[in-house]
Structure 1
Amino acid sequence: MIGYTISRLLQAIPILLIVSLIAFGIIHLIPGDAATVIGGPSATPADLARIRENLGLDQPLHIQILTFYANLFQGDLGRSLLLGIPVTEAVLARSPITIGIAIYSLVLTIVFGLATGIIAALNHNRWIDQAATVFALIGVSLPNFWLALVMIVLFSVHLGWLPTGGYVPFTQNPIGWFRTATMPAVALALLQAGLLTRITRSTMLEVLSQDYIRTARAKGISEWRVVGRHALANVMMPVVTVLGLILSVLLSGSIVIETIFGIPGIGALLGNAIASRDYPMIQGGLFFITAALLLLNIVVDVLYTSLDPRIRVTGGK
């Protein structure tokens, strides 16, 4: 298991370097640069040239990417052109906000998606199953940004139950945190809950049709024990894989949601960096998110091999 984990970590290194190179190329295709943002509309060509020289933006692109790689291997993601602070410091300061909302959204996804899928499978072809199918269809069909705007209009503007935006740290005011984090978490969770409902329902139906389930029922074992002890254990393996993908989507999809609700997380940080052409912040932020997603996938793979001994034996050969 340790050897497998180390192997996966080593495989992640070239992926991070390639993603950094692709991100570098894409962000330099965006019209304008940080010098025009810093200099403002009144800046002369000489002013812009001086700003680019001070920021190192006058260097050829291959020199800039090699400089980024050289600093990266020293643990330095660069310095924000506009904030004037290290990218690592800015990202780490915002990461608890994004991670907290992503975990809140993941909990909602698991509670509603897993429970709805199981209940639908146990009531196959009944009205509960049909209602769960409609819920899943709605969940995977509604864009999260549209849902976020609808919730703001409904729950904030008309009903006044929740604030329209902003963020309150959990350590400062737990109730305030739940009030400010609920709508973003729900907006992120609905699509994923619909996806998890469909996968859980189909997997559960397949498991319930197996011979060992029929044998357990024939022995007179209670239905809840059959489902909880025999069926659910086999359902959880594909669900764990999907949960890793879901959390990845929640983390990467936070840019739009955090911008809509004015939450000062990594998503909003990257959104502002893109608008201001803050190249080091964009590249460093994308590197951080990519590293987090790769690490998450490795954790899911290791957990999956722990749940399925056959995969663990295969991986050890």
Structure 2
Amino acid sequence: MLQSPRNDADAVKRARRFSVAPMMDWTDRHCRYLHRLLTREALLFTEMVTSAAIVHGDAQRHLRFDPVEQPVALQLGGSDPAELAKATRLAHDAGYAEINLNVGCPSDRVQSGRFGACLMAEPDLVAECVRAMRDATDRPVTVKCRIGIDDQDTEQSLDRFADAMVTAGVDALYVHARKAWLKGLSPKENRTIPPLDYDRVHRLRARLTPLPVMLNGGLETLEAAQVEMAHVDGVMLGRAAYHTPMLLAEVDRRFFGATAEPVTLESIMHAMADYADREAGQGTRLNNIARHMLGLANGLPGARQFRQILSVDACRPGADSAVMFRALEAVNRPRLAEAG
């Protein structure tokens, strides 16, 4: 059984050396439970949740997490300082280790709500939001942003934005090293088309030291992430960590100096089966858990059948944790055959 790690400020600061990015529809509590089995040290993030949904909706549902996920940060979306302060107080009471404000998402839906990347054009408003959030909690309040939007000069505009955050008392910045083009590119295109500019993030970090600056965007391997650690205070991986989750099993050794042997696929599958059994008692369908596990066997013989079992059989009526053991057998069978 996992033990809940500490979530004090020093532990959170250390955990920022490596974090798993907040991703809509992906980094829910089931995904985070899986990721915590793989890495005991990394900082995990929720999906972005709007402050309005927490303040005016079902706060308990939106803020629910398992204590073993700690340290875990809640990412908020919004631009109303008073509403963000209320949401932050609720997040504080729920036990989140860090509260993060999204100033990087480029989707039309987010823009229409006046939050996300469009707020990079309004640094004074974002600073007001950060101050209101800081007044509502003693936990770290951080911001995740882009290096700029549309036709902004990324030197001047990013410095002005960052300076406003520092003045507001932000505890750390996570910077996606691409511009967000709010006009003409889809959210998917915004993840790949605007060119990466790691050097701009490096310069920002050097200028803002000792404020922690973490780099996000385009990092696909742990080797690439380690290279960047020479220039920034931490790295954040998103889709690479989600689609190939077993790479997280190497994070504690590479980034935190852990000496314990990395967990194995077999131990992960058994632990997730136990988790699925517990969740079934609360009405959780197996496919809501299994969908986050499809990439666990990537690169192994039998991986295709592993994915098929988890994606198809987990959706059948009455599906239970036995599906996970059948998926594991699909990988173990060819491995045992090779050994024999």
TM-score range, shorter chain: under 0.3
TM-score, reference length from structure 2: 0.21
Taking structure 1 as the reference length, what is the TM-score of the superposition? 0.22
Tell which structure's C-alpha radius of gyration is larger: 1
Higher RCO structure, 1 or 2 (CA under 8 Å, sep 6+): 1
